Amino acid sequence: EAQVTQNPRYLITVTGKKLTVTCSQNMNHEYMSWYRQDPGLGLRQIYYSMNVEVTDKGDVPEGYKVSRKEKRNFPLILESPSPNQTSLYFCASSLGGGNQPQHFGDGTRLSIL
Amino acid sequence: AQSVTQLGSHVSVSEGALVLLRCNYSSSVPPYLFWYVQYPNQGLQLLLKYTTGATLVKGINGFEAEFKKSETSFHLTKPSAHMSDAAEYFCAASWTSGSRLTFGEGTQLTVNP
């Protein structure tokens, strides 16, 4: 089954404790992205990647890091999480950019205390 | 800056009534346009997309959207609402060939029996 898999689905942690949210897709997609969803703000793009070793900032990259060492994986790293990063996070992948629709994972709910 | 606006954060309709969810984009250059639906505790699923060509786009579950360049709009409609349509709906736009996707704030649709 074609899917984007995120782990963990839920995480409660404390300020400053480094964490990684993993994302993996099995569709051989070139493009991958991370979003955060906050009430009243919709989804905002954090980082995106158009190929292995090619990443770029989205609209809200501060406080986040990403890497794309393999085509299928695109982890999101919070090196020193803060409470304002409490949010619902989605990973997505697509065959290409522009008019290609994105396929979303089921989300990761992060709570930073 | 290019943006997407959804009028009405909450829309409530009766079962069997017309569903109309509004989306406008702010650019003289038409983007690629998408509507996604999010059911509780799930990721986003593509409903339909507009790229070029026919301005009336049909999607899944009986939804359709009409692209109106003169009004910079891409409103989503369904002739007869079902209880199963209750969800959050997001309009999104892409102005580039890359992976940049801009979302609206979302509209929560409630369907009353």
HSE-CB for A3 with a 13 A CA cutoff = 8
Give me the DSSP letters along A14-70. -TT--EEEEEEESS--SEEEEEEEETTTEEEEEEEEEETTEEEE-S--TT-EE--SS
Residues A38-75 pLDDT 10s: 988 999 999 999 999 999 999 999 999 999 999 999 99
Residues B29-72 pLDDT 10s: 888 999 999 998 888 999 999 988 888 999 999 999 999 999 99
Residues A87-112 pLDDT 10s: 999 999 999 878 888 999 999 999 99
**DSSP label at B72?**
T
Residues of B at the A interface (Cβ-Cβ below 8 Å)?
4, 6, 9, 32, 34, 36, 41-46, 49, 51, 90, 92, 94, 96-106
Nearest CB among A31, A41, A42 relative to B99 is that of A31
Q: Which two tokens stand for residue B111?
A: 């369907």
Beta bridge partners of A51: A54
d(CA B26, CA B1): 8
d(CA A44, CA A52): 22
Cβ contact B100–A50 (<8 Å): no
d(CA A24, CA A3): 8
